[in-house]
Amino acid sequence: MAIEAYIFVECTSGRTKEALQKIRVIAGVKTAHAITGKYDIIIFAEAEDLINLGDIVVSKIQAVDGVLKTTTSMVVNF
Sheet holding 41-47, edge to edge: 29-34, 41-47, 3-11, 67-74
- Say which CATH number the domain at 41 has: 3.30.70.920
pLDDT of residue 1 exceeding 80, the answer is no
Determine the average pLDDT of the residues in 16-38: 98
State which residues form the domain around 41: 3-74
Q: Which residues contact 36 (CB under 8 A, 6 or more apart)?
A: none
pLDDT digits over 45-72, tens only?
999 999 999 999 999 999 999 999 999 9
What pLDDT was estimated at residue 30?
98
Amino acid occupying residue 53: L
Specify the DSSP element, H or E, that contains 21: helix 16-24
Residue 74 pLDDT level (bands cut at 50, 70, 90): very high
Determine the average pLDDT of the residues in 25-46: 98
Give the separation between CA 19 and CA 32, rounded to whole angstroms.
Answer: 10
